[in-house]
Amino acid sequence: MQHRRKPASAAAPAAAKQQPSRRPTAPLSLAGLVVAVFLLAVFLYNEDVVKSGGGGADVAVPGSVAVAGRARSPDLRVLHHHHEEHGEEDAATQKQPPPPAAAAKHQQQQQPQVPAGCDLYQGRWTFDAAGEQSPLYRESECEFLTEQVTCMRNGRRDDSYQKWRWQPNGCDMPRFDASLLLERLQNKRLMFVGDSLNRNQWESMVCLVQSVVPRGHKTLQKFVNNGSLNVFTAHEYNATVEFYWAPFLVQSNSDDPQVHSVMDRVIAWRAIAKHANNWKGVDYLVFNTYIWWLNTFEMKVLKGSGALRNNKGAAGWSKYALVDRPVAYREVLKTWAKWVDRHIDPNRTTVFFMGMSPNHITPWAWGNDGGIKCAMETQPIVNRTAPLNIGTDWRLHGVARGVLARYLHRVPAHFVDITGLSELRKDAHTSVHTLRQGKVLTPEQQADPKTYADCIHWCLPGLPDTWNHFIYAQIVSSSSDA
């Protein structure tokens, strides 16, 4: 049977057939419109909040009854699954990120660490052609460098010696951060004690830290304390980087910091108090003594200490005994170690002892039979398979390690083992691009490297920056923010 289609009037609900109310309809339409716009705005707002919440983070979105209702009755299975997948990421996403300045400061205060089991001194030299990590500063940017070490200014043409970076095996050096180091040095003293090679390293450290100190907030005082002390100060940090002249650590007839070219060198191997009184209260002490021991195979050791007490001058050093170099070296380091262990507070002061800085005067040892000392060398020794013998007295290296292990009981000392890695850097010496008797070598003198090449000291920027990078790694990895 066919169904007839009902007229439109029959399909309409009964309410539609009623007579319209006599009350005006405009206000109702306007109110409805306002309500609709309000609801739409709330809906769009909630959508934005949900999207900004990371698309899946379980957060309560205010202003939405439906979402709030779900938050009050969470699906525990979903939450459990979510935590299994993301672990602690939920807490991190719910934390408000810090403002950029606070985040930067927090990042700066993170404590760099040398990986456990990492031997920083075993590795290889890597050429950093782009200069991204080496050098750590520019020669022209450090106003405190002396002419003795500014090789480029003194006529050296290649700067490749500045771009070699030390890469330990199986780990990385903490990236050098001068600002972080100065934070660690705030209200503290860092002092290098030793000979001209430690002064070389001190100049390097001054250049490393001064780069982040504005002009007018840093000073350098030379030859204070009767000439034995040089002091760089970063005033905003109340931090000093100092150098104290004591080439044998104990007293000797070569202790005059400006007039010390004494050929007949004599040491007093039990007399250390005169120098050591200047080391008390220092927060970081970096000691070295080596190069001044190489002039002779036997050392002249003062007999008795009466000459020192009676202040007899040069005549007081005339009575001495000849002692084999390693024996004298051991006795001097024993005197030094006993003083350190007795007088240094290990809760305040960190002690470093530098390994031996080698010289390069035997070019045949690295295969350059026609070479003259270290002159014209522009590359490190690489791909070496046979033992390298350039004349380093490794006996003294062994003596130093033995004394540190045996005689320092209360105060630990860090042996900075630079010797082997520095032996490879025949290219990094000042050579003929340095001073002689206070004056830059003339072209005629530079043409005579056999007489004038300095294969003991190092150009800056250069190798001593790496030595200081080791010091930096120890300071920042063992310090706290307290």
Give per-residue pLDDT as tens, 5-18. 444 444 433 333 44
Does the annotation mark 160 as catalytic? no
92, two tokens? 């991190």
Q: Write the pLDDT tens digit of every residue in 83-119.
A: 334 444 433 333 333 333 333 443 445 677 777 788 9
Give the integer Cα–Cα distance in Å for 200 and 202. 5
Active site residue 119: no
Question: For residue range 420-436, what is the model confidence (pLDDT) as tens digits?
Answer: 999 999 999 999 999 99
**Cα–Cα distance measured from residue 217 to residue 210, given in angstroms and rounded to the nearest whole number:** 10
350 in a structural domain: yes
226, two tokens: 């009767």
Determine the Cα–Cα distance for residues 470 and 121; give it in Å rounded to an integer.
9
Would you state the pLDDT for residue 312? 59
178 vs 46, residue with greater confidence: 178
Q: Which of 7-11, 29-33, 180-184 has the lowest mean pLDDT?
A: 7-11
In angstroms, the CA 58 to CA 199 distance is: 61
Which secondary-structure segment (H or E) carries 107?
A: helix 100-108
- CA–CA separation, 75 vs 72, rounded Å? 10
Sign of the torsion formed by the C-alpha atoms of 396, 401, 406 and 410: positive
Residue 8 lies inside a defined structural domain of this protein: no
Cis preceding-peptide flag for 135 (omega within 30 of 0): yes
Distance (Å, rounded) from C-alpha 421 to C-alpha 384? 12
Q: Which residues of 344-381 are buried (b: 16+ CB within 10 A; e: fewer)?
A: beeeebbbbbbbbbbbbbbbebbeeeebbbbbebebbb
Active site residue 457: yes
Tell me the pLDDT tens digit for each residue of 208-249: 999 999 999 999 999 998 889 999 999 999 999 999 999 999
Task: Report the phi/psi class of residue 179: left, alpha or beta, with left for phi > 0 and alpha for psi in -120 to 50.
Answer: alpha
Position 100 in a domain: no
Query: Is pLDDT at 70 greater than 60 in this prediction?
Result: no
Residue 256 per-residue DSSP state:
-
Q: How far apart are CA 230 and CA 194, in angstroms?
A: 12
| Residue 269 maps to a domain | yes
Helix (H) or strand (E) holding 46: helix 26-52
Domain membership flag for residue 53: no
pLDDT 10s digits, 117-174: 889 999 999 999 998 899 999 999 999 999 999 999 999 999 999 999 999 999 999 9
Q: Domain range holding 251?
A: 123-477
Cβ neighbours of residue 79 under 8 Å, at least 6 residues apart? 58
Q: Model confidence over 311-358: pLDDT tens digits? A: 556 668 989 999 999 999 999 999 999 999 999 999 999 999 999 999
pLDDT computed for residue 200 by the predictor: 98
Q: What is the mean pLDDT of residues 294-316?
A: 77
**Is 139 among the domain residues?**
yes
The answer to whether position 94 is within a domain reads: no
Residue 307 is predicted with a pLDDT of: 55
| Omega prior to 461 cis, within 30 of 0 | yes
**Prediction pTM value:** 0.77
Of 64, 134, 195, 196, which residue is the catalytic one? 196
Q: Is the pLDDT of residue 274 over 90?
A: yes
Residue 48 inside a domain? The answer is no
Measured CA to CA in angstroms, residue 358 lies from 326, 362, 391, 394, 457 at distances of: 16, 11, 8, 10, 9
Catalytic residue (choose from 433, 454, 465, 469): 454
Give residues with Cβ within 8 angstroms of 13, minimum separation 6. none
* Number of domains making up the chain: 1
pLDDT-based confidence at 479, cuts 50/70/90? low
Q: Which residues of 178-209 are buried (b: 16+ CB within 10 A; e: fewer)?
A: bebbbbbbeebbbbbbbbbbbbbbbbbbbbbb
- Report whether 448 contacts 465 (CB < 8 A): no
